[in-house]
Amino acid sequence: MNLRKYLVLAGVTVFAAAGDSMLSHGMKQTGNISLHHLQGVLLALLNPWVAVGIVLLLAFVVLNMNALSWADLTYVLPATSFGYVLIALIARFVLHEHVSPLRWFGIALISGGVGFVAGGPMLTSHPEQVVPVGAKPATLSSGLES
């Protein structure tokens, strides 16, 4: 696991949390969207919070695909779930919202889950098991590291 891979996982975590938060903030400003008034969607896209949120979520998708190219799905999902904790911490310490003891317990559980999976190997599946017929498995072997 090198610095680049840590940065990619950190990027997945931060961009997902920041994108969701900005999208949520923007959608609260634009109001409800009805199936009968789809022009509301276009108006929502003009909201700067929504626009920046979409850009951040696109960055999340690209980085998530990058991570899945060298790590297991069952490694990437828990390892990047720390974004839920980030959102709760931002809500508590930046937005000064109340975070109940039950939610603090949820934060502790997620942190524990991230810690558990981060200590294990990134990739456990054998490349030849998922490579289609005719493809070169050599491009996959570089991901077999801890």
Partner 1 sequence: MNQVHTWLGILVVAFASVVGDVLLARAMREVGDVHDLWRRHGLWSVVSRVLSNPNLSFGVAAMAVAFFSLLFTLSWGDVSLVAPAAASLTFIGNAFAARVFLHERVDRRRWIAAVLVAGGVALLAG
**Which residue's CB is nearer to partner 1, number 49 or number 70?**
70
Question: In the bound complex, what is the minimum distance in angstroms from residue 48's beta carbon to partner 1?
Answer: 23
Residue pointed to by tokens 């490579």? 131
Q: Are 15 and 82 in contact (CB under 8 A)?
A: no
Question: In the bound complex, what is the minimum distance in angstroms from residue 12's beta carbon to partner 1?
Answer: 13
Binding region for partner 1 (CB under 8 A): 4, 64-66, 68-70, 72-78, 81, 84-85, 88, 102-103, 105-114, 116-117, 119-120, 124-127, 129-132, 135, 139-140, 142-143
And the tokens for 51?
Answer: 């626009």
Q: Are 54 and 25 in contact (CB under 8 A)?
A: no
Question: In the bound complex, what is the minimum distance in angstroms from residue 105's beta carbon to partner 1?
Answer: 6
Give the DSSP letter of residue 96. Answer: -
Q: Are 11 and 63 in contact (CB under 8 A)?
A: yes
**Which residue's CB is nearer to partner 1, number 51 or number 77?**
77
